[in-house]
Structure 1
Amino acid sequence: MTSLPETHRVLQLISTSQPLQLKTLPVPHTGPGNAIVKVLLASVVSYSGDIYNGKRQYPFPTPFVPGSNAIGRIVAVGPDATTLVPGQLVFLDCTIRARDDPTGAIILSGIIEGFTEGSRKLMHGEWRDSTYAEYIKFPLENCIPLDEERLLGPVNAGGLGYCVEDLIHIAKLLVPYGGLDDVGLKPGETVIVAPATGPFGGAAVRMALAMGAGRVIAMGRNEAVLQELSALSNRISTVQITGNEGTETEALRRFSPIDVFYDISPPMASGSTHFRSAIAALRYGGRISLMGGINGDISLPYASFMHRNLSMKGTWMFSREQSLRLVKLVEEGLLLLGKKNGFSVGGQFGLEEWEQAFEKARDAAAGEVVVIVP
């Protein structure tokens, strides 16, 4: 069992007008409702640079320690912990919810303080610092247990043969799982994923396959990435986003009936034609999952939407229950990680190499993940 040192190294953001700084701070202390975790590696989202230089204008307190989802090992637990124990391997889920208001007060640890007074209280107080640090204090319920023997054990001994770096792909898969699960994607159904050529879109294609989709239609502009996705399975088809709504709709309808449209549009895709063409191609009673980052309004074909009995659901991130279910899919070997599913770690960087990490994450391929190793 690892003992806690008095101090540890962290990356700290003082202001969005200044570069991140490497600092030595006291190691946090455990207490009721939390655990102290040694961070083994933490994921870097593709737009990290734009978050911490202020370009995306995400609200968060300063100074604070940035970060995201991570893989870690429990070092100490609070007095009310009943199942988590020191030495245990865990996935650190950055979606932190208020225990007395889990649907209204939500933050993304190290990224954004949310949009309510309650969520701001969470990030300005107890859960201010995140995973770009050697140690972190984290809520017990956000430490998702991982079956280390099953996941990392050798295949000839009943394990899955993964390395620790492979496990961070859980973070990328959880986002589309939240949306696809919320709209009830069923085995055998056909789902459109658009845009599918980015990191979360590519993960959504893989997630839909693992959930039993009969066919996944990957939409995107990057033809090379679409070809890479189609090579993963004969259940994947591709349709290019051309900017011509009619052409796209006609191409999609070749795969009718289409049950679900999963949208993961980035902010710059607010004017993309894929949104309307995918909706137009849905069957009667089709469902739409919204998980993208578009800030403006998007028009809907009102009469067609009503007469075809379509339904739409927005999902921000995922629930703890969904996290537990997804990890179970991985542990059972039903959802593959690493090279087995076209994933790779595009780079591992120390805390002092954060600038290189952000640059690499910005340019990473759809199946790549970049990590910081404290």
Structure 2
Amino acid sequence: MATEKSSVNRALWLSSFTEPPKIVDLPIPEATAGTGIVQILAVPVVPYNKKVHLGELPLLRESLPLVPNPNAVGRIYTVESDATSFKPEDLVYADSTVQARDNDTIKIMAVAGGAILEAANVSIGEIAVVGPCAGSFGGLAVELALAIGGDVIGVGRFKKELKNMKDILDNAQFAYVVMTGDQEVDTAAILGATKNELGADIVSDWSPGCLPEPPYLSTMVGTLKNDGRVVLS
């Protein structure tokens, strides 16, 4: 069914970090060479959305004013004459990430790759403790470490998520430990999951930046061998 075209661009407008965003009517943009205009149908609301709107996350503190939350599902509204892949009414996902045109899959692994392949330099047979491991970045870190032959122990709060990850990966080199909040108990559990209970070679921490402190870092570091490495991402 065709999407009804509007004559106005109704948008959430963020003009100040000290005042709530407002609903305003803006001009409808015009497509230029190599671009298209997307009519927004739905946008994701992430847990840290409020902190973004308050300017409390330095990495996401953009220059105002602007329309926040750029990722969205929508339909192509108009395209320029040089468009080759899209036409009006196509259903699309608009991703605000700036990426290489010729290989846009690089962005999927780039962040985790920097931590696991470059900073941690995981090698075949090394044991990496990754946590929290069930999110986008931690999950990719687990997959990369496994792909190059490492043994991985994933940690997190929710057994259901960790078990689901174990089932999907279907890899004997992956184990998981459910965190209880008791550092002594959790450290012992992670050590018990390492080969011969000798400890880990690498700790890869993926705690969200919006948390006051990393919830598992001290516990994971307590499982390191004497020459172990820690990577904070």
Q: Give TM-score, length-normalised by structure 1.
A: 0.44
1:250 equivalent to 2:195? Answer no
Whole-angstrom CA distance in 1 between matches of 2:22 and 2:74: 22
Q: Which residue of 2 aligns with 1:78?
A: 80
Q: Decide whether aligned partners of structure 1 residues 56 and 19 sit closer, same or farther in structure 2, where only a CA change above 3 A counts.
A: same
Q: Which residue of 2 aligns with 1:269?
A: 213
Q: Which residue of 1 aligns with 2:111?
A: 179
Whole-angstrom CA distance in 1 between matches of 2:142 and 2:29: 36
1:291-310 superposed matches below 5 A: 304=227
1:12 equivalent to 2:5? Answer no
Selected match of 2:176 from 222, 238, 244: 238
Q: Which residue of 1 aligns with 2:52?
A: 51
> 1:72 is paired with a residue of what secondary structure?
strand
Does the 8 A contact of 1:190 with 1:259 survive in 2? yes
- Aligned Cα RMSD in Å? 4.3
1:4-153 superposed matches below 5 A: 4-57=5-58, 58-96=60-98
Question: Larger radius of gyration, structure 1 or 2?
Answer: 2
Whole-angstrom CA distance in 2 between matches of 1:8 and 1:22: 10
1:309-348 superposed matches below 5 A: none
Q: Deviations over 1:135-189 (max 9, x none)?
A: xxxxxx5xx8xxxxxxxxxxxxxxxxxxxxxxxxxxxxx9874434554699x99
Moved over 6 A (4+): 211-215, 255-260, 310-314
Give 1:81 shift.
2.8
Does the 8 A contact of 1:193 with 1:216 survive in 2? yes
Q: Decide whether aligned partners of structure 1 residues 87 and 52 sit closer, same or farther in structure 2, where only a CA change above 3 A counts.
A: same
Whole-angstrom CA distance in 2 between matches of 1:27 and 1:189: 54
Give 1:44 shift.
1.6
Give 1:312 shift.
6.4
Give 1:70 shift.
2.2
Q: Which residue of 1 aligns with 2:159?
A: 226
1:194 equivalent to 2:131? Answer yes
Give 1:66 shift.
0.4
Q: Deviations over 1:109-157 (max 9, x none)?
A: xxxxxxxxxxxxxxxxxxxxxxxxxxxxxxxx5xx8xxxxxxxxxxxxx
Q: Decide whether aligned partners of structure 1 residues 56 and 73 sit closer, same or farther in structure 2, where only a CA change above 3 A counts.
A: same
Q: Decide whether aligned partners of structure 1 residues 180 and 63 sit closer, same or farther in structure 2, where only a CA change above 3 A counts.
A: closer
Does the 8 A contact of 1:4 with 1:27 survive in 2? no
> 1:273 is paired with a residue of what secondary structure?
helix
Give 1:28 shift.
1.1
Whole-angstrom CA distance in 2 between matches of 1:312 and 1:29: 45
Aligned-pair identity (%) = 24
Q: Give TM-score, length-normalised by structure 2.
A: 0.65
| Structure 2 unmatched runs, 5+ | none
| Structure 1 unmatched runs, 5+ | 103-140, 145-173, 282-300, 315-374
Does the 8 A contact of 1:195 with 1:219 survive in 2? yes
Q: Decide whether aligned partners of structure 1 residues 219 and 8 sit closer, same or farther in structure 2, where only a CA change above 3 A counts.
A: same
Does the 8 A contact of 1:41 with 1:71 survive in 2? yes
1:217 equivalent to 2:153? Answer yes
Give 1:196 shift.
3.0
